[in-house]
Structure 1
Amino acid sequence: MIKIEYYVDKIIQMCGLTGMSVTVARFILLVLVAVVLASVAGILFRKIVTPIVRNITARTKVTWDDILLGDDILKAASRIVPAVVVWVLLPMIFTRFDTVHEILERATAVYITVMSVNLAIVFINSLKLLGNNINSSTQQYFHSFCGVLKIVMIFIAVIAVVAIIIDKSPTKLFAGLGATSAIMMLVFKDTISGLVAGIRLTSNNMMRKGDWITVPKAGADGTVEDITLTTVKVRNFDNTIVTVTPQTLVDDSFKNWIGMQNSDGRRVARKIYYDFNHIHPAGRELCDRLVEKGYFNAGEITPDTVNLTLFRRYAERYLAGHPEVNSSMTIMVHQLEPASLGLPVEFYFFLSDKEWLNYEHNRDDIFEYIYAITPDFGLKIYQQYIGREA
């Protein structure tokens, strides 16, 4: 700084200035020097330091340094360097202008504080990218921690900026926060409740990013795309985005399909109502027809067997031999409690292909076949007819 002032004074002497013009010229030259040095510092950081850091991180085998020293972090850091140079040179420029010096010094300090917090937030966001490699519930803990950390950094920055503006010690402002804690609780009520609910979701392993969940109350039925402190974003199968609060998921019930997706099959449980009037012993003629059509072999059935019993036996055999049905899991065709619509028979089995479209098609193919063969057993599916006016 002394050398800068020395060379500035030399330039003024070489120009032959005297009197009041010396003070004005000295001030202008010092301002220009400060602007030039700050600009040069910023350019050097972007053109020299940044490429050097990139080359070093690119040559290492680890990946964490590429994330923690990425372009966004270096760009945020480059915004601080010129302000630091100006901060250092301010006392030299405004030696005779105390009021202007104080105002600019505070303004520069506020800028450095804001940019430093911005750098910290970018760094925290980079930490979240490191957490993407975690496939367990620890990832959600990590993201929640990063969210809380950003809130704390912003809160501290606000206190620091206010302290700089009013020229008070930040410790005194922190000490006075006890009286305003109730107001802060109201301001961050949603964030705090969301954090607690998010911790409950992740600690109990109730939901992860990528899970298929169904929340009837919120109209959500799709894949979890993002989990933050205050929101859970679900992309429905029609590509609409539904935003649900973690508190809603904790307070109300929701269905997570991860158990089905990780299992060996997706369940099918469907009821078909059969007319009571068509349930009767098979008789010789029906038995012969069933053998002729290949449903049973001769000797497997007797005329005194009820046709519904034969149908249930064949349906279970058909399901067990179907290539899309997981035969190692439960396969059952059984009666439920009689109802006014007829006798309900439930078909309970699991399909191996759990992908939504294939699951729907395979299930429909099976039941369409069951509907088609029902008359062969002398049965009739109950269907309510609505009379029409002549």
Structure 2
Amino acid sequence: MCYQIFIEKIGIMIFKIQGIYDIVNLDLKRWGAITLIIIGKILFFTIILIILEFIFNRGVRFLVRRIVNSTHFVWDNILYENKVFDSLSHFFPLSIGLILIKPFFNDYHTIIIYLEKIFDILFVLIVLQFLIRVVNSIMRIATSENNHQTIAVRSFSQLLKIISIIFCILIIIAILTKNDLITVLTSLGAITAFVILVFRDTILGFVSGVQMASTKMIKVGDWIRIPKYNIEGTVIEINLTSAKIENFDKTITSVPTYDLISTAVTNFEFMRQKNIRRIKRSILFNIQSFHFCNSCKLKKFQHVYLIKSYIQKKQEEIDLFNKERNIDISINNINGRRLTNIGIFRKYALEYLSQHPKISQSETLMVRHLEPTPYGLPVELYCFTNTSESIKYEQIQASVFDHLLTAAKEFDLEVTTQVPKKEFLKQW
């Protein structure tokens, strides 16, 4: 009897399990069919959007190209090349698609909500793309020449792009979290310090760009030197965060834009505009080779064209000075006034520069003594060439020193090549 009751209970249990399985199996089949229907509708909806995108894109491109070719303006060509009108063409298929969402998915409210969010995000991204392309076009139009306003335009445009990207990201966050934009902005107040830290270089670069544009300190194309980084070259780009400088060895060095106004920067552009360049180099003479010139030496120098009149005039002045004071110059060399070989050479070098066709006579020109050192007396030449071109400048400078170094022998002057030990080690 117990055995029969047990068999009956097992049978009832099996029957119930079979019924549950049939119900679950029926629900799975129904959900599978619904899923296939949704996937099919989404695919069909996507194909329609792709076709609309293709039609509108080609149509807008064809129409805009005809208009651009019929005008003589440059700015519309730049807008077309930067695909600004292509971004506008995306709005039409997306707007039609947004209208068709409800008719297509009328029975699926959840799908409608998600698709509307996706379309809202796509609209934000297209607006962002449109703004960036417009800003790039404006930058190309406004920076056709290398001038100081170029820096301000680049700084403003890059800052505007960064702000646009951040603003669009905040809108997307607001869409995904179902909050308004003010709520999202309020929540960012807690991380303001972090944001400022992240965008520190950007803020400093923007301020630097505005200052350089307003004060006309540096522009693209200027030849500059930054002693802090031991850099000398031509500025090829100044953007929001960094400046690129092409060195004379054709390497590129990038420095923070802020350093262009916060550190010492030498700008050679004014020199290039005046088409002059300074020579400031010295010859080191051995002091042991300095001596007073006797009458025999003076006779020799009186035949040198550049200093002939100088020696005659100076000798008459010295003879008069010694005669008035009854100074016997035959006793020793230091009695009275006498001409020296270094003094005559200094005058010769000055006259040589004054008559050199490649040396500017309208700028400062002098030959002077520097402070004596244990290694000799430096005689410095300070003048300007009448060209700022590097190759010609170096040729002129080399020819001047070729002549003077050789001419020094005629004045019995010894050019020393000794350098301080520290300087020698520094060169190596």
Give the shorter-chain TM-score range.
Answer: 0.7 to 0.9
Aligned to 1:184: 195
For the 8 Å contact 1:319–1:325, the answer to whether it is kept is yes
Cα distance between partner residues in 1 of 2:100 and 2:377: 92
**What is the 5 A alignment of 1:1-390?**
34-133=45-144, 135-292=146-303, 294-297=305-308, 300-301=311-312, 304-384=338-418
The answer to whether the Cα contact below 8 Å between 2:146 and 2:221 also exists between their aligned partners in 1 is no
Q: CA 1:219–1:312 in 2, change beyond 3 Å: closer, same or farther? A: closer
Q: What is the CA-CA distance between 1:219 and the residue it aligns to?
A: 3.7
Judged with a 3 Å threshold, the aligned counterparts in structure 2 of structure 1 residues 276 and 99 are, in CA distance, closer, same or farther, namely same
CA offset at residue 47 of structure 1?
Answer: 2.3
How many angstroms does 1:300 deviate by? 4.7
SS in structure 2 of the partner of residue 217 of structure 1? coil
> Which stretch shows the higher mean deviation, 231-240 or 245-254?
245-254
Q: Could you say which residue in structure 2 is the equivalent of 1:11?
A: none
Identify the range of structure 1 (197-206 vs 163-172) with the bigger mean alpha-carbon deviation.
197-206
Given that 1:144 and 1:195 are in contact with CA atoms closer than 8 Å, whether structure 2 keeps it comes out as yes
| Matches of 2:398 and 2:360, distance apart in 1 | 16
CA distance 1:126–1:299, change in 2 (3 Å) = closer
Pair 1:140–1:182, CA change in 2 (3 A) = same
**Residue 159 and residue 283 in structure 1: after superposition, are their counterparts in 2 closer, same or farther (change >3 A)?**
same
Q: How far, CA to CA, are the matches of 2:205 and 2:124 in structure 1?
A: 28
State the match for 2:3 in structure 1.
Answer: none
The answer as to whether partners of 2:105 and 2:111 remain within 8 angstroms in 1 is: yes
| Aligned-partner SS, 2:228 | helix
- Contact 1:34–1:85 (CA under 8 A) maintained in structure 2: no
Distance 1:85 1:347, change over 3 A: same
RMSD (CA atoms): 2.9
1:267 Cα deviation from its structure 2 partner = 0.5
Q: In 2 relative to 1, CA 227–113 (structure 1 residues): closer, same or farther, beyond 3 Å?
A: same
8 A contact 2:307–2:347 mirrored in 1: no
* Residue identity matched to 1:333: V
TM, length-normalised to structure 2: 0.77
Q: Which residue number in structure 2 is paired with residue 12 of structure 1? A: none
Give CA-to-partner distance per residue, 1:244-290, whole Å, 9 cap, x none. Answer: 11233333222222222122410111121222232233333223333
Of all paired residues, the percent bearing the same amino acid is: 28
Tell me how far apart the structure 2 counterparts of residues 135 and 239 of structure 1 sit (CA, whole Å). 20
Q: Which amino acid is 2:381 matched to?
A: F
- The 8 Å contact of residues 232 and 243 in structure 1, kept in 2 or not, is answered as yes
SS in 1 for 2:346: helix
Asked if 1 retains the 8 angstrom alpha-carbon contact of 2:147 and 2:220, the reply is no
Question: In 1, Cα distance between the equivalents of 2:262 and 2:215?
Answer: 14
Seen in structure 2, the aligned counterparts of structure 1 residues 220 and 277 have a Cα distance that, compared at 3 Å, is closer
Mark the runs of 5 or more structure 1 residues left unpaired by the alignment: 1-21
Distance in 2 (alpha carbons) for counterparts of 1:185 and 1:297: 73
Q: TM-score, normalised by structure 1?
A: 0.84
Distance 1:202 1:166, change over 3 A: same
Instruction: Compute the displacement of 1:373 (Å).
Output: 0.5
Q: Quick check: 2:226–2:232 contact (8 Å CA) kept in 1? A: yes
- TM superposition shift of 1:41: 2.7
Q: Distance in 1 between matches of 2:252 and 2:145?
A: 25
The number of residue pairs the alignment matches comes to 366
Distance in 1, matches of 2:70 and 2:230, equals 49
Distance 1:67 1:155 in 2: 26
User: Conserved in 2, the CA contact under 8 Å of 1:37 and 1:85?
Assistant: no
Long gaps (5+) in structure 2: 1-32, 316-337, 421-428
The structure with the largest alpha-carbon Rg is 2
Return the letter of the residue paired with 1:364.
A
Task: Write the distance in 2 (CA, Å) between the matches of 1:337 and 1:299.
Answer: 25
- Separation in structure 1 between the aligned mates of residue 62 and residue 291 of structure 2, nearest angstrom: 87
Give how far 1:96 is off.
Answer: 0.6
Partner deviation per Cα, 1:53-95 (whole Å, 9 max, x = no partner): 1221232222122223434323444445433332221111111
